[in-house]
Amino acid sequence: MKPLLPGLRRVEDDADAHRYRYLIAFTVTLASVLELVDTSIVNVAIPHMMGNLGATLDEVAWVSTGYVVANVIVLPISGWLGNWFGRRNYFALSIMLFIFASIMCGVSSSLESLVFWRIVQGLGGGGLISTAQATLYEVFPREEAGQAMAIFGLGIMVGPMLGPTLGGWLTDTLSWPWIFYINVPLGLGALLLTLMVVPDSKYGERAEQVDALGLLLLAVGIGCLQTMLERGEKLDWWASREVVAYAVTSFLALTALVWQELRHPHPVVDLRILADPQFAASVVFTFVVGSALYSVVFVFPVYAQTLLGFTAWETGLVILPGAIASGITMAVMGRTVAKTKLDLRIFVIAGVTVFGYSMWKHSLFTAQSGWDDFLLPMILRGVGLGMVFIPLNNLALGNLMPEKVANGSGLYNLTRQLGGSVGIAASATLFVQWQQANRGELIRHVTEGSAQAVERLARLKALVISHGTPEALAQAKALRILEGQVVKQASMLAFERLFLAFGVAMALALPLLLLIRRGQFARAGEVAH
């Protein structure tokens, strides 16, 4: 076969796949990073979109919600779609759809158009992560699979962290459509490499019939669940009929989906693999990991930008050492898990311990903390998550038969994504509740009977008068400043509790490891079932 590029020919057999395995890893990870970056890149551009499109904050929020909802609908069926179209074709088509939708998002002149194309973009990007992971488990030999997961895991960790920073820089430097246009050159590079080096699955079998009812129930159930999680806190949860409607619809649809998939001979989502206790326990554990990862990524920038006044770019620089530490840790773990004879659960426990210590250090942050205070906790956070990610991936997927890995990867990644959504929704709700409770408690002590409060108010009054405020207005202005200080302190106490809660949540998941009996790495297909 004539090479497509000098020294590079299209991958058609196992020998080619092995030869280009690291290029394959780079290709599928690049595509996955693009998908993950777009889950958060729009957040910092929302004020600009509101101004240009004439939309309210609640309306423009659908730009983010629509993408994530479409994403999670496709995730669990990506294995089925890969078998139906062929893995290489499906991966390439997904990238093409992602690129085209990115262009259309950038040229959208109305909110309705932008939301529609974000949904299409989410449908294109949804299958990239699980298909990438399944590809890596197939093309890498057992002794190198950990290294493949390290490359892939770096993308999983960096993607969510990179989004707000890159989005802020592009929006400030150019304009908000460029947060979508940036996908085009990188996406085209990933597409070209995909067509050349990403192989079809040796184990994929196309279903004899389409499980149409399963597809419908999945779209309705997962779509309503994700929408509820995205909008629940804004709509005051169960006080909103809309949220209740999402919850009831999701419950009924997902219940019917389980019944449908367990009885259908060719289910669109193979739930039978959850009968493997190791896989099931790993899926629950990764739900907690996803919750902790995405929640911290969500909460820390809010803390840094609202209380400390950091820009999106400065916040990204603070987060960067943790991302680098995570990448280095995963590279080390990738080599370690394939060679060690130790029980892999030991590494998970160690990672959770380091992450928990990091969250304790996070809980000591104050409204006056600076760069030096953040460096060590961020590095420890990256190390802890890196130590958990690789062993947990191998424990979850390494025990599955080859033909089950694609479906298993879809369920595994869906669970992590839903864990992140639940974690973010819970974090936002708990922050508001804890902030209000802290404010009420602090105000109780800011009374005329408190010598400290009276002294603080007198100093503030003198300060505003010295800056030119008339004495008649000084008392009211000083009270407003004091109220702002109370709210700021109440927010800081809420952030401290949240950080500590993330570490506790991870620790509480550790008993699940008792259900994972196989503590050694097992390459898919090499385990007796």
Full pLDDT tens readout for the chain, 529 residues: 444 444 555 555 566 666 778 888 888 888 888 888 887 777 667 777 877 787 776 677 778 778 888 888 888 888 878 888 888 889 999 999 999 999 999 998 888 898 899 999 989 988 888 888 888 878 887 667 667 777 787 777 777 667 777 777 787 788 888 989 989 999 999 999 998 888 877 766 666 667 788 888 888 888 888 888 878 877 888 888 999 999 999 999 999 989 988 888 878 788 888 888 888 888 888 888 888 887 887 788 888 878 888 876 777 788 888 878 887 888 788 778 767 777 888 999 999 999 999 999 999 999 889 888 999 999 999 899 888 888 888 888 777 777 777 778 778 888 888 888 888 888 888 888 898 888 787 777 665 556 666 666 666 666 667 666 676 666 666 667 666 677 788 889 999 999 999 999 889 988 888 887 655 444 444 443 3
Token representation of residue 89? 């074709």
What angle do helix axes 402-445 and 78-85 make, rounded to 10 degrees? 150
Q: Domain 273-529 is classified in which CATH homologous superfamily?
A: MFS general substrate transporter like domains (1.20.1250.20)
pLDDT for the residue 527: 41
pLDDT for the residue 208: 64
Options 1.20.1250.20, 1.10.10.10, 3.90.850.10, 1.10.150.20; CATH of 1-208: 1.20.1250.20
Are the CB atoms for 402 and 142 separated by under 8 Å? no
Token representation of residue 250? 């999701």
Query: Taking all residues of the chain, what is their mean pLDDT, rounded to a whole number?
Result: 80
What's the predicted TM-score (pTM) here? 0.77
pLDDT for the residue 245: 93
**How distant, in Å, are the alpha carbons of 290, 306, 373 from that of 431?**
19, 13, 22
**How distant, in Å, are the alpha carbons of 395, 433, 457, 475 from that of 468?**
66, 37, 17, 13
For 263-301, the pLDDT digits (tens) are: 888 787 888 888 888 888 888 888 888 888 878 877 888
Residue 342, SS3 per DSSP: coil
Strand partners, 52: none
C-alpha span between 75 and 218 (Å, rounded): 11
pLDDT for the residue 170: 81
CATH 1.20.1250.20 region(s) of the chain?
1-208, 273-529
Are the CB atoms for 256 and 388 separated by under 8 Å? no
C-alpha span between 128 and 411 (Å, rounded): 13
Strand partners, 5: 8
